[in-house]
Structure 1
Amino acid sequence: MRIALFSDIHANLPALNAFFTDIEKRNVDAMYCLGDLVGYNTWPNEIIEEIRKRNISTIAGNHDEAIGNMVKTQKEIDVTILNNGAISKEFTNQLLTEDNRLFLQTLPAHIRLEFKFNNEKINVLLVHGSPNTINEYIFEERPKNEIIEMMNTSKADILCFGHTHKPFHKVLNVETNGVSSFKHAINIGSVGKPKDNNTKGCYVVLEFNKNASLLNDKGVNVEFIRFKYDIEAAATAVENSILPNVFAENLRNGN
């Protein structure tokens, strides 16, 4: 079983199109999107429509939730008094069709997958920020005990998330009544707005090893895949809009 996970597209259509081209080579069995379809670029409707057309199971990101719940207006956006985040939200709010707004409003908060291999029941939890809240950041330097506690509370053996745009995989050794097992915490990175000083988009393919316990460090293979896309097309679209030019520079610099 091979599962593709991607997140944080942020209205970057050139990046999403390049992702779809790349994923066709990967022979995956299922695909899930962990949210933040919109914000920071000029193609929110096109992104949503591609996700819907392909029937990709998707959860809400914090930008999806915030913008989806805004009331549409056509008032002039005063870039002199709003911060960059507010400009992005107002700009996206004005572009968004009502049908696509309803789609964002009705996205689930998380997706739980349950697998049974070799007499083991494995819970995979897909969230945007964390199991606690949609906008909580889980960085790689987060203490191990905090992540394990979070996963125990949410009954997750494998926790997959985005939001920080910085990919990593932590294999967490857990001792229970003298028995050692492993949990996996996986930040899947960002398709359309990477922030790890790498300008390439990022996503993850999970592959389960049917011949090994999923609760040991050999049972799950986590492959981080980086792909090129037309950064200049995405950056120029920002510069030709009222969005702050710093969004374009961030794409060019990977931050």
Structure 2
Amino acid sequence: MRIALLSDIHANLPAFEAVLEDIEKQKPDAVYCLGDLVGYNVWPNQVIGLIRKHGIATIAGNHDLKVSKILQSEGECSKEQSSDYAYKLVGSKERDYLLTLPRHLKLEFQLNDDHLNMLLVHGSPRSINEYLLKELPEQYILEILKEFKADILCFGHSHKPYHRIVNSGVNGMDHYHHLINTGSVGKPKDGDARACYVMLTIDHQTTVTSPDGIQVEFIRVKYDVEKAARAVELSLLPDAFADNLRKAY
């Protein structure tokens, strides 16, 4: 089974359209979005519309939940309010959709007499705002994996893609877990301005006793970065957001 995982679109329509086109070519069996559809750019409603049109199962990100605190503006924002402008663009129907998204999704596979639990979150299972960075101590990661019974933990939030494997086995019995940060479609922060998503492959030989039990491919997709950056500069959003897109930081 091939599963496409994407996250942190952040209202960047050109990036999302390019990723959707690439996913269509890849023909995965399922597609999941790990949240943050809005924020930082001017196309939140169009992005939400495409998510719903394509029937992509989606969880809430921390930016998606911000719309509950920010009302639509009937007039123009002042420069002092410009960081909130991205959320004021979200329509009422789109806001209702964001606020009803689930926080987690859990998939269970039964392969080779193994139960393989896959947990999809935005930040971490403990908090939507927590960053699960690559350099976190292994013991801390193992505590989370044990607490939430996750063999494969997929998340976004930091916009920095990585795949890390840890072993919780004892007494010579290996039990491997996979941590997968999907990176960001619409606002990468790893120095590569291209959109990023993940293709995860699980086959009939997948088992928790092998570190090679699943295959993880990070796919980078070129898109019109300048179009997205110029949209920011022509709006009431801070110009720094455009610089973020061009330099991917």
Contact residue 151 and residue 157 of structure 1 kept, 8 A: yes
TM-score using structure 2 length: 0.96
Q: Which amino acid aligns with 2:170?
A: T
Offset at residue 70 of structure 1 (A):
2.9
Cα-to-partner distance string for 1:176-234 (whole Å, 9 max, x where unaligned): 34311200011010000000000111110110131242442111001110110000110
Aligned-residue CA RMSD (Å):
1.3
Offset at residue 173 of structure 1 (A):
1.6
Q: Which amino acid aligns with 2:40?
A: Y
Contact residue 183 and residue 215 of structure 1 kept, 8 A: no
TM-score using structure 1 length: 0.94
Offset at residue 67 of structure 1 (A):
1.6
2:188 corresponds to 1:197 = no
Contact residue 60 and residue 98 of structure 2 kept, 8 A: yes
CA separation of 1:52/1:69 partners in 2, compared to 1, >3 Å: closer, same or farther?
Answer: farther
2:117 corresponds to 1:131 = no
2:128 corresponds to 1:120 = no
Cα-to-partner distance string for 1:103-159 (whole Å, 9 max, x where unaligned): 001000010000111111110000000000001011111111111111110111110
SS at match of 1:14: helix
Contact residue 8 and residue 36 of structure 1 kept, 8 A: yes
Q: Give the whole-Å Cα distance in 2 for the aligned partners of 1:94 and 1:130.
A: 27
Equivalence map 1:140-151=2 (5 Å)? 140-151=134-145
Q: Give the whole-Å Cα distance in 1 for the aligned partners of 2:19 and 2:211.
A: 28
Partner of 2:33 in structure 1?
33
Aligned residues: 249
Which has the larger displacement, 162-171 or 138-147?
138-147
2:72 corresponds to 1:78 = no
Q: Give the whole-Å Cα distance in 1 for the aligned partners of 2:56 and 2:69.
A: 22
Offset at residue 69 of structure 1 (A):
4.3
Partner of 2:100 in structure 1?
106
SS at match of 2:123: coil
5+ residue gaps, structure 2: none
Contact residue 123 and residue 158 of structure 1 kept, 8 A: yes
Offset at residue 77 of structure 1 (A):
2.3
Partner of 1:56 in structure 2?
56
SS at match of 1:124: strand
CA separation of 1:99/1:215 partners in 2, compared to 1, >3 Å: closer, same or farther?
Answer: farther
5+ residue gaps, structure 1: none
Contact residue 191 and residue 203 of structure 1 kept, 8 A: yes
Q: Give the whole-Å Cα distance in 2 for the aligned partners of 1:22 and 1:170.
A: 25
Q: Give the whole-Å Cα distance in 2 for the aligned partners of 1:240 and 1:173.
A: 49
SS at match of 1:176: coil
Q: Give the whole-Å Cα distance in 2 for the aligned partners of 1:227 and 1:76.
A: 34
Contact residue 4 and residue 203 of structure 1 kept, 8 A: yes
Contact residue 214 and residue 220 of structure 1 kept, 8 A: no
Q: Which amino acid aligns with 1:238?
A: V
1:160 to 149, 154, 167: 154
